[in-house]
Structure 1
Amino acid sequence: MNKNSALIVDDEPDILELLNITLTRMNFNCVLAASLREAEQALAAHQFDICLTDMRMPDGSGIDLVKLIQSNHPDLPVAVITAHGNVDIAIESMKAGAFDFLSKPIDIERLRALVKTATKSGAPEAALDNELLVGTTDVMRKLKQQIHKLARSQAPILITGESGCGKELIARSIHAQGPRCDGPFIAINCGAIPRELMESEFFGHKKGSFTGANADKIGLFQAAEGGTLFLDEVADLPLDMQVKLLRAIQEKAIRPVGTQAEQKTNIRILSATHKNLQNEIVAGNFRQDLYYRINVIHLHAPALRERMDDLEALTSAILNKLAATYDSEKITLTPDAIKHLKRYPFPGNVRELENTLERAFTLCEGNTIRGDDLQLAPMQVETSATQSEELNGQALDKKLEEIEMSYITKALEETRWNRTEAAKKLGISFRSLRYRLKKLGLDTD
């Protein structure tokens, strides 16, 4: 079996020996260095799979070494060892490019997990089934490069951007291209959890810990063990839950409701919001210490209007996906339809483009979408992003689905479930009816 190689940098002989023994037992060849100069010499002479470095050295700091490795050996993961509770230094090291950090006294189990994750290959340039990463504009090329680079790190990332621009898809891409790709990806909308159940949902609970707790339950942190926990709309967390989340992230441990003992966790935290968190901090709605903890690295998701040259490629990808989903022939757009799309500002971003094309897909005659099929009225062009979110809100979607289901069910009953006749009665094409039946869960084939 080929051995991996590790560079261990520390001026304390006891720590150096502990790390050497642990990694040697994990089948690593270890090179030891007691100073920054010795580490530089070792890097010049050997290739390594991982580097562990203390923060304090006689001739420099661990962050100096992180920056050196980032410049000259960007694919080498480096973890920094810090004094217990020195969160600011840990954050600074990850901002400089460290893979992760360890606190003293060193937890051997935590060390082993870190080393295994750091030396595991992810899935670079993973072929993900989403429309977001389609495109060759400058902003998209930059985004893809950032995703590929950040996927190798374990640093918490805050993804910001307008609603509908694909923040969750970016998070999934980071997970898929990183060393945790074989682990779970758990996504949660922080604004969708009832306040009274929030702690239980995040950390789990023991049977009998509160009324209705009829069995033990694992929380989101446990469900994401070995993988990634994505906190969508993190700005919607109430302040009391923000305190508990901060502690769980800092200590890398949780305490299920109704228990006294803490459980260690091994997850990566990714967060997202469409709100300005700095404004939320000023307004007293978001804790500044939590902001610094989840915003170690910031990634901005571009709005669709910032990448309109990608529109045709995006449109083609979405229509191909719709055709595959509903077993339809390929749908194309007329030049007039493309012109309509290019003039529209899409305040709802990629999500709104998907909804627009999905609607046109069901309404068009034959296999061609025309400008009128898109139903982009002039008044819609002036609709603000906030109004667009309200129009496309879940409550309205649900109500429209209920009305649609009522009409379709009535037509099917009146025609004794003859779909061809029901489509005629509804004034839509057979393909449109088949699409709607699948969408509403009424397709029994």
Structure 2
Amino acid sequence: MTTPSAHILVIDDEPDLCTLYELTLLREGYRVLTANDLAQAHSQLQQHQFDVVICDMRLPDGSGIELLQQLRTQGRSERCIVITAYGSAENAVESLKAGAFDYLSKPVDLKEFRTTVAAAVRMQNGQQASTMPLKPATDLPNTLEKMAGHSPAIQVVKERIRKVAPSMAPILIHGESGTGKELVARAIHANSHRRNGPWVAVNCSAIPENLLEAEFFGVKKGAFTGAAQDRQGFFQTAHGGTLFLDEIGDLPVAMQAKLLRAIQERRVRPLGSSQEEIVDVRIISASHKDLGLMVQTGDFRQDLYYRLNVIDIQMPALRERREDIPVLCKTLLERIAQEAGASVIPQLHPAALQYLCNLPLQGNVRELENLLHRAVALAGENAAVIDVERDENETSGNERTGHAGAMADSHASQALADSDDLPSDLQAYLDALERQILIRALDESRFNRTLAAQKLGISLRQIRYRMDRLQIPIPANSVDSA
């Protein structure tokens, strides 16, 4: 829906293009003024207040970057769209860093032109309607309210999210595994003007290399054997919203080149199609790897790196914000209890909380959550107070308490002894071990979950919760399948 009262300034030194842009915008109901160089543009800006400024990157008396910088210095509120030379990724990145709302590549596609301008107008009107900061979308999961913690380190992250969310600039999130990089990406989406659009999260390391192009760009019917119908890729699914590329460093170099072109040109060609499709997505990527180092070793394309790393956010490791551990434990326990359907939200014994605060926690928040999951399970259903110090005794080999704890530790120790190396992913290792134990107990009880739960010393509710979390299917003819 356009806003007829929106006032737009178009700056381009080519009269034909300037007229084309003007006529296109007038048909959309906007009020439009034009300028052919920076001098005329400054004159117009002194006389009028605009909603959106559309500026060519190269002008006879300067560049669009200079205008962007001057507008920012003057504290003006206009949203700026920069038009760059065809395929000029460096100019696009430079303009976004200078504060541009978005950029368009020549030759400009008029449909994309109208869409981009409409988005800028909507964003500008949303800010002018109120002097308050952009309010997070509280109906979406994992927004800023879900980011537990008050440490200086996490406050820096939250403030950066608030600043960069309204922009269209690509964002690269750095951080160790388990720090909450996807949580940051979701918060950016939920605080952006795209919050009502699609959110598509992709784990780049989980897609087989031979399926990458089809998954990202889509497939046309008959493109290959088995392609019985058209199927959209990640880019088409995320049209109008945000595409989150997690573990971007795991993409093969060949796919990196195709991804770069899709991001630069905002077009994708599905497999088996002769035509490209325009896509309007905001790219947020994340990696626990050092992409800068990968560029130096040749494992990651330099042009793609600079295209993705327009704005960077560093997610701190948990050991760098230990003061957040108490509130994180409280938040995680509330979620664990809710997911398990428990009537009581357990609390940590003070000694247990102190123990967690002193742990190295190399797996960060994910490791902390796993420890709390185990503590809740070992404490039994509806326990009001839980203690994780028993886990310390189990892992150190000291005296153990409880037959169930001893059995669990014995199986885990034997499984580890059978392997030459320590697990590289503790969470995945423990999940696989737990899944194996559950499947064995269920097989022995012919999938009678009540009996299997009794064998393992847990409740029926707990075994149902664990089966659901670990995605253990239930045979149709199983006993107690309700």
Using the size of structure 1 for normalisation, the TM-score is 0.88
Which residue of structure 1 aligns with residue 436 of structure 2?
A: 402
Greater CA drift, 399-408 or 154-163: 399-408
Secondary structure at the aligned position of 1:392 is classed as helix
Deviation (angstroms), 1:293: 1.7
Which residue of structure 2 aligns with residue 224 of structure 1?
A: 238
Residue 439 of structure 1 is aligned with which of 453, 460, 469?
469
**Does the CA-based 8 Å contact 1:340-1:376 persist in structure 2?**
no
Q: Structure 1 98/444 Cα, relative in aligned 2: closer, same or farther at 3 Å?
A: farther
The one-letter amino acid paired with 1:439 is R
Deviation (angstroms), 1:101: 0.8
Deviation string 1:166-215 (CA, Å, 9 cap, x unpaired) is 11121111112112222211111111111111111111222332233233
Distance 1:372 1:430 in 2: 26
Deviation string 1:390-431 (CA, Å, 9 cap, x unpaired) is 2222x6523421312432564686xx76x4x76554333566
Secondary structure at the aligned position of 2:299 is classed as coil
Distance 1:313 1:268 in 2: 32
The one-letter amino acid paired with 2:135 is P
Deviation (angstroms), 1:228: 1.6
Secondary structure at the aligned position of 1:7 is classed as strand
Which residue of structure 2 aligns with residue 370 of structure 1?
A: 387
Deviation (angstroms), 1:16: 3.0
CA RMSD of aligned residues (A): 2.9
Q: Structure 1 390/70 Cα, relative in aligned 2: closer, same or farther at 3 Å?
A: same
Greater CA drift, 325-334 or 421-430: 421-430
Deviation (angstroms), 1:132: 6.1
Deviation (angstroms), 1:28: 2.2
State yes or no: 1:5 paired with 2:2: no
State yes or no: 1:207 paired with 2:221: yes
Distance 2:319 2:48 in 1: 47
Distance 1:434 1:205 in 2: 38
Map 1:261-410; keep pairs closer than 5 Å: 261-328=275-342, 329-365=344-380, 366-373=383-390, 375=392, 389-393=424-428, 397-407=431-441, 410=444
Secondary structure at the aligned position of 1:163 is classed as coil
Distance 2:239 2:267 in 1: 11
The one-letter amino acid paired with 2:376 is F
Greater CA drift, 257-266 or 46-55: 46-55
Residue 201 of structure 2 is aligned with which of 179, 187, 212?
187
Distance 2:318 2:356 in 1: 12
**Does the CA-based 8 Å contact 1:357-1:374 persist in structure 2?**
no
Distance 1:374 1:74 in 2: 57
Secondary structure at the aligned position of 1:15 is classed as helix
Distance 1:19 1:210 in 2: 41
**Does the CA-based 8 Å contact 2:105-2:265 persist in structure 1?**
no
Which residue of structure 2 aligns with residue 129 of structure 1?
A: 141
The one-letter amino acid paired with 2:136 is E
Secondary structure at the aligned position of 2:425 is classed as helix
**Does the CA-based 8 Å contact 2:172-2:286 persist in structure 1?**
yes
**Does the CA-based 8 Å contact 1:70-1:97 persist in structure 2?**
yes
Which residue of structure 1 aligns with residue 71 of structure 2?
A: 69
The one-letter amino acid paired with 1:148 is R
Distance 1:263 1:256 in 2: 8
Deviation string 1:245-266 (CA, Å, 9 cap, x unpaired) is 1222222211222222222221
Deviation (angstroms), 1:93: 0.7
Greater CA drift, 170-179 or 122-131: 122-131
Residue 249 of structure 2 is aligned with which of 232, 235, 247?
235
Which residue of structure 2 aligns with residue 155 of structure 1?
A: 169
Deviation string 1:50-84 (CA, Å, 9 cap, x unpaired) is 22112233443211121223344475421111222
**Does the CA-based 8 Å contact 1:364-1:373 persist in structure 2?**
no
The one-letter amino acid paired with 1:224 is A
Greater CA drift, 284-293 or 57-66: 57-66
**Does the CA-based 8 Å contact 1:118-1:179 persist in structure 2?**
no
Which residue of structure 2 aligns with residue 383 of structure 1?
A: none
**Does the CA-based 8 Å contact 2:179-2:317 persist in structure 1?**
yes
Which residue of structure 1 aligns with residue 477 of structure 2?
A: none
Deviation (angstroms), 1:162: 0.5
Greater CA drift, 80-89 or 424-433: 424-433
Aligned residue pairs: how many? Answer: 435
Secondary structure at the aligned position of 1:275 is classed as coil
Deviation string 1:340-362 (CA, Å, 9 cap, x unpaired) is 11101211111111111112122
Distance 1:376 1:84 in 2: 63
Using the size of structure 2 for normalisation, the TM-score is 0.81
Distance 2:105 2:50 in 1: 22
The one-letter amino acid paired with 1:15 is L
Secondary structure at the aligned position of 1:94 is classed as helix
Secondary structure at the aligned position of 2:212 is classed as helix
Give aligned-pair identity as a percent: 45
Greater CA drift, 302-311 or 24-33: 24-33
Deviation string 1:94-151 (CA, Å, 9 cap, x unpaired) is 1212111112332211111111222334863333533862222222221112112211
Which residue of structure 2 aligns with residue 138 of structure 1?
A: 152
Unpaired runs of 5+ in structure 1? 381-385
Distance 2:357 2:46 in 1: 53
Unpaired runs of 5+ in structure 2? 127-133, 398-420, 475-479
Distance 2:359 2:146 in 1: 18
Deviation (angstroms), 1:374: 5.1
The one-letter amino acid paired with 2:385 is T
Greater CA drift, 358-367 or 108-117: 358-367
Distance 1:228 1:160 in 2: 18
Secondary structure at the aligned position of 1:324 is classed as helix
Deviation (angstroms), 1:275: 0.7
Q: Structure 1 425/378 Cα, relative in aligned 2: closer, same or farther at 3 Å?
A: closer
Greater CA drift, 200-209 or 122-131: 122-131
Secondary structure at the aligned position of 2:360 is classed as coil
Greater CA drift, 299-308 or 58-67: 58-67
Secondary structure at the aligned position of 1:172 is classed as helix
